[in-house]
Amino acid sequence: MQRFDLRDLREARARHPELVVEAAGRRTRRPLLGCDGRLLVLAADHPARGALGVGADTSAMADRGELLRRLALCLGCPGVDGVLGTPDILEDLLLLGALDDKVVFVSMNRGGLHGASFELDDRFTAANAETIAAMGFDGGKMLCRIDLTDRGSLDTLEACGRAVTELAGRGLVAMIEPFMSRVEGGRVRNVLSTEAVVRSVAIAAGLGATSARTWLKLPVVEDMEAVTAATTLPTLLLGGDPATAPADTHSRWEKALRLPGVRGMVIGRALLYPPDGSEDVGVGALADLVHPPSAEVELQ
φ/ψ of 93, rounded to 5, equals -65, -35
Contact 123, 59 (CB under 8 A): no
Residue 1 has pLDDT above 50, yes or no: no
Query: How much is the pLDDT for 278?
Result: 63
DSSP state of 57: B
3-state secondary structure (DSSP) of residue 43: strand
Query: How much is the pLDDT for 239?
Result: 84
Average pLDDT, the chain: 91
Q: Most distant CA pair in the chain: distance in Å?
A: 53
**% of the chain with per-residue pLDDT over 70:** 92
**% of the chain with per-residue pLDDT over 90:** 81
Contact partners, residue 46, CB within 8 Å, separation at least 6: 52, 61, 268, 269
Of 10, 142, 14, which Cα lies nearest the Cα of 68? Answer: 10
Residue 277: pLDDT band with limits 50, 70, 90: low
Residue 298 has pLDDT above 80, yes or no: no
Contact 26, 85 (CB under 8 A): no
Per DSSP, what are the bridge partners of residue 144?
Answer: 178
- Note the pLDDT tens digit of each residue in 151-169: 999 999 999 999 999 999 9
Contact 47, 71 (CB under 8 A): no
Residue 102 has pLDDT above 60, yes or no: yes
Contact partners, residue 212, CB within 8 Å, separation at least 6: 168
Highest mean pLDDT among 116-120, 186-190, 232-236: 232-236
Domain residue limits, the chain:
28-290
Contact 271, 84 (CB under 8 A): no
Per DSSP, what are the bridge partners of residue 54?
Answer: 57
Residue 249: pLDDT band with limits 50, 70, 90: confident
CA atoms within 13 A on the CB side of 225: 1
Query: How much is the pLDDT for 243?
Result: 58
Residue 291: pLDDT band with limits 50, 70, 90: very high
Tell me how far apart the alpha carbons of residues 170 and 172 are, in angstroms, rounded to a whole number: 6
Residue of higher predicted confidence among 251 and 100: 100
Residue of higher predicted confidence among 298 and 149: 149
CA–CA–CA angle 133, 134, 140 (5° rounding): 30
Query: How much is the pLDDT for 240?
Result: 67
Judge if pTM exceeds 0.75. yes
Tell me how far apart the alpha carbons of residues 140 and 182 are, in angstroms, rounded to a whole number: 25
Contact 264, 41 (CB under 8 A): yes
Residue 90 has pLDDT above 80, yes or no: yes
Residue 2: pLDDT band with limits 50, 70, 90: very low
Of 4, 3, 39, 42, which Cα lies nearest the Cα of 270? Answer: 42
Per DSSP, what are the bridge partners of residue 142?
Answer: 176
Tell me how far apart the alpha carbons of residues 143 and 212 are, in angstroms, rounded to a whole number: 19
Report which secondary-structure segment, H or E, holds 269: helix 269-272
Residue of higher predicted confidence among 297 and 260: 260
Architecture label for domain 28-290: Alpha-Beta Barrel (3.20)
Tell me how far apart the alpha carbons of residues 97 and 101 are, in angstroms, rounded to a whole number: 10
